[in-house]
Amino acid sequence: MEAESGKESDSPTKGKWTGFFRGIFSREPTATEETPGEDEPVSRPTPTSTNGNKGKPVVLTTVNFSRVVEENPRVVVDFWAPWCRPCRALSPILEATAHRIPDGVVVGKVNIDHQPTLARKWNVKSIPTLVVFCEGKPVDRMVGVIGAEALQAKLTRSFKRCD
């Protein structure tokens, strides 16, 4: 058998996968996709006030994270990503639980793809990660999907540390 050095193969699949991957990795974003820079805030509207948003998560960015956490006595922050199935499973559980949490608790969401600086700052290594803040300080952390009852009990215990 002779070695053919430098000669390209005439395989029928030649270029098939190259074209496939080139199409995935080099495509331009569509008009509906957001493409913020690493620390650039997402262009979604962000509530200016957290009053009266019980059960409705606040989109947190590097611009408003500190203000929301410091101005509200009790905050639950969900670090997530849209491609993460466990994150998508936890989201409705967290929102349903937020309706049963006492008044004054704010639920915030950080999309780690759009806000990687916040993920690094709060040492988020796996998602979903929930960080519970009392008076601006982290008091508890939960990683992974958790059921509604267990989440309610864990949050209740975490917020007792605030009192």
Q: Which of 42, 81, 84, 143 is catalytic?
A: 84
Maximal CA-CA distance, the chain: 80
Q: Give the DSSP letter of residue 7.
A: P
Distance CA 160, CA 86 (A): 27
| Pair 36, 15: CB distance under 8 Å | no
Which positions ≥6 away from 2 have C-beta within 8 Å? none
| Pair 124, 79: CB distance under 8 Å | yes
Cross-strand partners of 109: 59, 78
Q: Give yes or no: 87 in active site.
A: yes
Please tell me whether residue 135 adopts helix, strand or coil conformation: coil
Q: Which of 58, 60, 77, 87 is catalytic?
A: 87
Q: Give yes or no: 134 in active site.
A: no
Residues annotated as catalytic (active site), given as ranges? 84, 87
